[in-house]
Structure 1
Amino acid sequence: MDAEKAINSTLAPPENPNATTVRNLYEALASGDRKISGLIASDLEWWFHGPQNCHHMMKMLTGKSSSSDFKFEPRSIDAIDDDCVIVEGWEGAQVYWVHVWILKDGVITQFREYFNTWLTVRDLRPMNCFSATTLWQSHPRDLAKRSLPGLMLAI
């Protein structure tokens, strides 16, 4: 390792362990590795919002499709709160997706899949809607000119 890389690696904060787990899942799926059982609870809770023909991740997780059918290439992986990881990606000019993963003790227990939907995640735990904190918002970038429905996810 050269000196510059050594300095940069010591300055960068360590990645959140839950974000690492989710990153490992995407890497395993991209390589065609189906050995993901240790990352996901056997009773995974799943929600979907989007066109009915876009259940791509659930099809991959259940073995009903391969990684070549749809390529999930995350553009961002953000850990929010203690147990939530949000992954966002764009596939060409037509598809925008957001995945919300909830982990407990390093294992994925819930999965929410959103296709062509802008997402805002808000913390409503103070039980005062006027002081709710926005934890995460979609980053439109490539699709900023498209009109997509918006949803708010309250945690």
Structure 2
Amino acid sequence: MRLLTGASSSFVFAPISVVPFGATVVLAEGYNTKRAVSWVHAWTVTDGVITHVKEYLNTSVTVKRFASAVDGDGDSPSTSPPPNCQSVWQSKVWGKSVVPALVLAL
């Protein structure tokens, strides 16, 4: 808890990359060499202020964008799965070759 609140300075979150997805989601990725920990933050931004943060440690994160499907009349959403599930970003696996994988849907 001391690391998450900033009360301890033994873990430094220095992003290696920051990637925006539209106006509301930003991903930051980094690696702490002292502790051999890779991390990804998913930030939700509202009116220019970070309002929500999700943090993933030693986890491979893939972001996929799901396109909505419409039925034959073009008006209502289809009940079938989206035809377009585009992978738009994947974290780098720093330090470890085998880590759990997670998919974030946009």
TM-score of the aligned structures, taking structure 2 as reference length: 0.75
Match for residue 147 of structure 1? 98
Q: Cα deviation per residue 1:19-46 (whole Å; 9 max; x = unaligned)?
A: xxxxxxxxxxxxxxxxxxxxxxxxxxxx
Matches of 1:129 and 1:139, distance apart in 2: 27
Q: CA deviation at 1:126?
A: 1.9
Match for residue 62 of structure 2? 120
CA contact (8 A) 1:77 1:87 kept: yes
CA contact (8 A) 1:126 1:132 kept: no
Match for residue 50 of structure 2? 108
Cα 1:107/1:125, change in 2 over 3 Å: farther
Matches of 1:95 and 1:129, distance apart in 2: 35
Q: How does 1:6-155 map to 2 (within 5 A)?
A: 56=3, 58-60=4-6, 65-66=7-8, 68-92=9-33, 94-126=36-68, 128-140=81-93, 142-143=94-95, 145-155=96-106
Secondary structure in 2 matching 1:77 = strand
Q: CA deviation at 1:110?
A: 1.4
CA contact (8 A) 1:121 1:135 kept: yes
Matches of 1:138 and 1:87, distance apart in 2: 9
Amino acid at match of 2:105: A
Higher strand share: 2
Higher helix share: 1
Matches of 2:25 and 2:100, distance apart in 1: 22
Kindly, what percent of the aligned residue pairs are identical? Answer: 35
Matches of 2:91 and 2:82, distance apart in 1: 20
TM-score of the aligned structures, taking structure 1 as reference length: 0.54
Cα 1:125/1:109, change in 2 over 3 Å: farther
